[in-house]
Amino acid sequence: MRLQKLISLMKERGFDGALISPGTNLYYLTGLRIHEAGERLTVLVVSADGDYRLLAPSLYETVVRNFPVTFWRDGENPYDKLAWILAELHLSKGRLLIEDTMRADWLIGVIRLGPFEFHPLSSVIRELRMRKDRHEIEMMGHAAKAADRVFDEILSWDLLGMRERELALKIELAVRELSDGISFEPIVASGENGANPHHEPGNRRLRKGDMVILDYGARWKGYCSDITRTIALGRPSERLVEIYEAVREAQENAYRAVREGTKAKEVDRTARETIARAGYGEYFTHRTGHGLGLDVHEEPYIGPDGETILENGMTFTIEPGIYVSGLGGVRIEDDVVVLDGKGKRLTRAERELIRL
Ligand SMILES: CSCC[C@H](N)C(=O)N1CCC[C@H]1C(=O)O
């Protein structure tokens, strides 16, 4: 059980307890689908002694079943109830792990309840979440397949003259048709807009000669995919085609560099060196990839400072890019899992340059 694994790690590292607010960690540990209920305090309290209890608004009475829980009603002071739970679990003081994304007003309320020494929950839970089990990898496979299928659909659309924001909406709808939802708002960056890696789709219409970056993802049972393909409309300039080839080669080389026992930064170095050899080193302005799972960005990060040693079960993206201001950009991204000692692509859509 994942909660028991966290408790063992907490004990090993000398933590007395953990306070976990709604988000992917709470879901990962309990399977409870509790969205952050805005301002209403919701916290899972876990003691290193093995005890745990959820404090939740009574709105969740029908959702939380077969789990130790204390409900509070509108009009009551939830911090009084939290103080009581902390006392019951012998956690009125001590070294606590605290959810990294906990709302500031809740955190301030917690600080008032005792002399605590806080540490980020991520510093411990990362070790559990980074290594996916068979079920998690299977769910990510479904999410990746949905992304691949949407790419094939996009190729059948009449893209010339379409606005970036229209295309982003169509992609979102197509993803929603095939999965549980989007993993983030799709990026559509055409022509010179492609020089911004996180471009927000706007009113620019797609035209002949454009390279168009399409970056989107699906969710399946909470797990994310994240794919990027860059396609050409008509005949883009020779320089853009040369850039495309450099990115494609960098993505392939980095993928082949994925091995159990290799450091994340070695995969990044492989991509970076390939792009530098093509003469575009200064235009590759971000890390090569990021871990992927319940969150679209999580550990392990595949960057120049990536000290994580890759292990079977780790899942992450490989997405080098080249961005030239005033000209445009190219990015190619796949989701990869380390299996039987080497990388295996989860997303498999065509990577050769497609000209429409
Ligand atoms: C969650 S928004 C960005 C999604 C995108 N696929 C992405 O992760 N990146 C685009 C540029 C690099 C990379 C990133 O690290 O942000």
Q: What is the pLDDT of residues 319-353, one digit of tens each?
A: 999 999 999 999 999 999 999 999 999 999 999 99
Q: Among 93, 113, 129, which residue terminates a domain?
A: 129
Whether 356 is in a domain gets the answer no
Whether 180 is in a domain gets the answer yes
Residues 124 and 138 in one domain: no
- Determine contact, residues 317/290, Cβ cutoff 8 Å: yes
**In this predicted structure, which of 27-36, 48-57, 233-242, 274-283 has the lowest mean pLDDT?**
27-36
Q: Does residue 35 register a pLDDT over 90?
A: no
| Terminal C-alpha separation, the chain | 50
Structure-derived torsion over alpha carbons of residues 184, 186, 187, 191, reported in degrees to the nearest 10: 170
User: Percent of the chain having pLDDT more than 70?
Assistant: 99
Residues 292 and 145 in one domain: yes
Residues 188 and 263 in one domain: yes
Domain membership of residue 96 as a residue range: 2-129
Whether 354 is in a domain gets the answer no
Beta bridge partners of 289: 302
Cβ of 296 less than 6 Å from ligand 1: yes
CA separation for the pair 144, 217 (Å, rounded): 8
Q: Does residue 37 register a pLDDT over 70?
A: no
Whether 198 is in a domain gets the answer yes
Nearest CA to ligand 1 atom 11: 197
Total of domains in the chain: 2
Q: What is the pLDDT of residues 107-134, one digit of tens each?
A: 999 999 999 999 999 999 999 999 999 9
Residues 107 and 168 in one domain: no
Residues 219 and 313 in one domain: yes
Whether 89 is in a domain gets the answer yes
For residue 311 the two structure tokens come to: 């292990």
Residue type, 183: S
Q: How far is the CA of 65 from the centre of ligand 1 (A)?
A: 37
Residues 66 and 157 in one domain: no
Q: Which of 199, 226, 285, 316 to mutate to test the pocket of ligand 1 (most atoms within 8 A of CB)?
A: 226
Quick one: pLDDT band at residue 70, thresholds 50, 70, 90? very high
Residues 13 and 62 in one domain: yes
Q: How far is the CA of 32 from the centre of ligand 1 (A)?
A: 28
Quick one: pLDDT band at residue 171, thresholds 50, 70, 90? very high
Closest ligand 1 atom to residue 215 Cα is 6
**In this predicted structure, which of 63-67, 217-221, 228-232, 322-326 has the lowest mean pLDDT?**
63-67
Residues 312 and 200 in one domain: yes
How many Cβ atoms from other residues are within 10 Å of residue 81's Cβ?
16
CA separation for the pair 171, 19 (Å, rounded): 38
b/e map 104-126, b = 16+ CB within 10 Å: eebeebbeebeebeeeebbebbb
Closest ligand 1 atom to residue 185 Cα is 2
Nearest CA to ligand 1 atom 16: 198
What percentage of the chain's residues is helix, strand, coil (to nearest 5)?
Answer: 35, 25, 40
Residues 298 and 149 in one domain: yes
What is the ipTM for the molecules in this complex? 0.97
Beta bridge partners of 220: 223
Count Cα neighbours of 132 within 13 Å in the Cβ-side half-sphere: 26
Q: Which of 319, 330, 347 to mutate to test the pocket of ligand 1 (most atoms within 8 A of CB)?
A: 319
Query: Which helix (H) or strand (E) is 247 found in, with range?
Result: helix 238-256
Residues 319 and 340 in one domain: yes
Q: What is the CATH number of the domain that holds 77?
A: 3.40.350.10
**In this predicted structure, which of 29-38, 186-195, 259-268, 284-293 has the lowest mean pLDDT?**
29-38
Q: How far is the CA of 55 from the centre of ligand 1 (A)?
A: 34
Whether 355 is in a domain gets the answer no
Whether 9 is in a domain gets the answer yes
Closest ligand 1 atom to residue 333 Cα is 6
Q: Among 83, 110, 129, which residue terminates a domain?
A: 129
- Determine contact, residues 129/20, Cβ cutoff 8 Å: no
Q: What is the CATH number of the domain that holds 176?
A: 3.90.230.10
Q: Among 94, 129, 164, which residue terminates a domain?
A: 129
Residues 205 and 309 in one domain: yes
- Determine contact, residues 193/331, Cβ cutoff 8 Å: no
Q: Does residue 33 register a pLDDT over 90?
A: no
Residues 6+ apart with CB under 8 A from 330: 194, 211, 213, 230, 240, 243, 244, 247, 321, 322
Cβ of 303 less than 6 Å from ligand 1: no
Residues 193 and 282 in one domain: yes
